[in-house]
Amino acid sequence: MLSKKSQYAFKALTYLTEKYNEGPVLISEIARKKRIPLKFLENILLELKKADILDSKKGKGGGYFLKKSPEKIKVASVIRLINGPIAMLPCVSLYFYERCKNCNEKHCGLHDMMIEVRDATLQIVENRTLRDLVV
Amino acid sequence: MLSKKSQYAFKALTYLTEKYNEGPVLISEIARKKRIPLKFLENILLELKKADILDSKKGKGGGYFLKKSPEKIKVASVIRLINGPIAMLPCVSLYFYERCKNCNEKHCGLHDMMIEVRDATLQIVENRTLRDLVV
DNA sequence: TATCAGTCCACCAACTTGGTGGGGTAATAA
DNA sequence: TTATTACCCCACCAAGTTGGTGGACTGATA
């Protein structure tokens, strides 16, 4: 399951997608409109900024905004950043791979199946962007 | 990601699948062969028993064994029992559904996408059984 | 220089995860 | 009937994560 933090991140990002090219948006505005605890949202936005997804401007008239256009920001990369691995097992993860101890990956039915699950999921989340989330 | 508990559960279940129709298997044997902490495994097997997946016999010659044949035990039901929801959001979960507050499910792009992810995953895990895990 | 708005750091309660210890109880065999 | 075997059950634990808060600081603008 996605953490609440991830859900907040997506809410904030879709809001910023709707406001794309309208200049910086206040953290407090996003928090109010999307019902996200302000200080918690602060951390999330900062993390998204450090990952080059958002950019910000300080002082009066400042706020947060998308650094790239919404159709260039993949859902998969947001999930990996805020939530972590997409795969169900470390031994089938592409970005968070860890070898499976006491389990031969060559002859493990669970492993093979979880690769299928991973690929079916990636097929979707790697091909959707923030733009697709705004209906 | 699946918890270690879930991974242990699958290891134990595949072991019991291999030993299906060979009588009860000791917890201690499973623990040793699959390198699972004994007392932790105890809890897991008990939970699987309460869910009618395993059965046990006490006293000498006792142990655990599959209650039904391996091809009747779906991977999906084991995941739900030991790990919890398969879906990525509560508002798209079939067995652990919770209404999404401050988010209209009818007009939520994330919601729609996560339904697709859920269905793609279920397509796989609902159609595989313990038998498929033993290669 | 006053104000605004993001940045940074430290801290927190509650919960989950992964586990351990020990006694109780049912079944079996001698 | 008694000893042994092996599951059952309860309580407890450390460490980590999650979700969140408070306060001081820094840079930008007017």
> Exposed, middle or buried: residue A73 (CB in 10 Å: 0-12, 13-18, 19+)?
buried
Strand D nucleotides in reach of protein CB atoms, 7 A cut-off: 4-10, 18-23, 26-30
Least CB–CB distance from A116: residue in B7, B10, B124: B124
Query: What CA dihedral angle connects B66, B134, A89 and A11, to 10 degrees?
Result: -70
pLDDT of res. A31: 97
Cβ(B85)–Cβ(B96) below 8 Å: yes
- Gap between the Cα atoms of B81 and B79, Å rounded: 5
Structure tokens at A83: 């939530």
Q: Hey, how many other C-beta atoms are within 10 angstroms of the C-beta on B50?
A: 10
Using the beta-carbon criterion (under 8 Å), do B112 and A135 form an inter-chain contact?
yes
Helix (H) or strand (E) holding A6: helix A4-18
Question: Which one has a higher pLDDT value, B99 or A78?
Answer: A78
* pLDDT averaged per 10 residues in sequence order, chain A, 135 residues: 98 97 97 97 98 97 97 98 98 94 80 97 98 92
User: How far: A39 CA to C15 C1' (Å)?
Assistant: 21
Stretch B20-47: mean pLDDT: 97
Cβ(A54)–Cβ(A67) below 8 Å: yes
pTM of the predicted structure, to 2 decimals? 0.94
Structure tokens at B105: 């499910």
Give SS3 for A21. coil
Structure tokens at A102: 């006491």
Stretch B40-50: mean pLDDT: 97
Q: What percent of chain B has pLDDT over 70?
A: 99
Stretch B38-47: mean pLDDT: 97
Structure tokens at B92: 């798209």
